[in-house]
Amino acid sequence: MANPSLLILPGDGIGPEVMAEVRKIIDWFGNRRGLAFDVSEDLVGGAAYDAHGTPLSDATMARAQEVDAVLLGAVGGPKYDSLDFSVKPERGLLRLRKEMDLYANLRPAQCFDALADFSSLKREVVAGLDIMIVRELTSGIYFGEPRGIHTEGNERVGINTQRYTESEIARVARSAFELARKRSNKVCSMEKANVMESGILWREVVQEVHDREYPDVELSHMYADAGAMQLTRWPRQFDVIVTDNLFGDLLSDLAAMLTGSLGMLPSASLGAPMANGRPKALYEPVHGSAPDIAGKALANPIACILSFAMALRYSFDLGDEADRLEAAVQTVLAQGLRTADLMGPEGGSPVSTTAMGDAIVAALDASAA
């Protein structure tokens, strides 16, 4: 039987640095747990543009369609700001999401106990936080037509179109309900049905899917702006939040900061099942390429490492091993190790990107002893 296949796309900025630490974790599972992966590596984003004149080559796209999972670092940077919109680094990531039809973006926001005091909110508000935002990823205002900038009279006009079909809403709703059944059986759907027709349709379809297929799951509806307020007031009232592409982008970044740092948060983008029954999948940290700290060994690799943990769980059916990796991260944080982004006002000496990865490997060693 062939080993599970994984395509690694380190990307730009700190992407290669954090991905190097993930490679240590992958090697550990192969050497210590007998879990061998068929790993290949390629270019995406600015790195791909520098080499091929495109943010994602056709050959890389074809490879991404073939493997069991894709693990991506980050894309972008000021070096590419002057490029035409069609070849900006982010277009490579958007092409992956669109052509792989990765319609359900899972963004967990979990507050590790060791970091509860690092959040900008009070400990009693965020301690124990464990929510999942399910963001629709392949439609909505980022992809709708018409779009563009044109001239009307003597001024320019920018246009983006919010567009959703019933089937697009229904399938991401199902993803949220299925996840909720494995968690606390509670879903909150967020939109702007008070001012947007697409929001009205969103609410109606989510309710229909619930009533027809998931009546056992508790469902509530909330306007997205009210949801943002409630996430900062009392985030633990939520379990699974399902929302559209634009609001999901905003709300998941807000939820990320409840945990203390974007450097802590992974994500999974899942699509329809392949022949082996597993979903097409791309895993990536929520953070960006952070070009200001690239090459300085200051980056936090935990979000990328936890993205691999999500791959273990959702693509390779290795939930116990995912738990083992997440527990190793918790152990290291409890020991007081911090990268620069996790340093509080009390100061101290942060560990390097490499040192954090080594510490997590050491914690894995201890767990397997």
Task: Return phi, psi of residue 51, to 5°.
Answer: -85, -35
Active-site residue set: 142, 192, 225, 249, 253
Phi and psi for 156 in degrees, rounded to 5? -85, 150
Q: Which of 341, 356, 169 is nearest to 256 (CA)?
A: 341
Q: Comparing C-alpha atoms, which of 263, 282, 305, 290 is closest to residue 20?
A: 305
CA separation, residue 71 to residues 207, 263, 349 (Å)? 33, 16, 30
Distances in whole angstroms, Cα of residue 364 to Cα of each of 24, 285, 311, 360:
11, 21, 17, 6
- CA distance linking residue 201 with residue 179, whole number of Å: 22
Among residues 139, 141, 112, 138, which one has the least CA distance to residue 127? 112
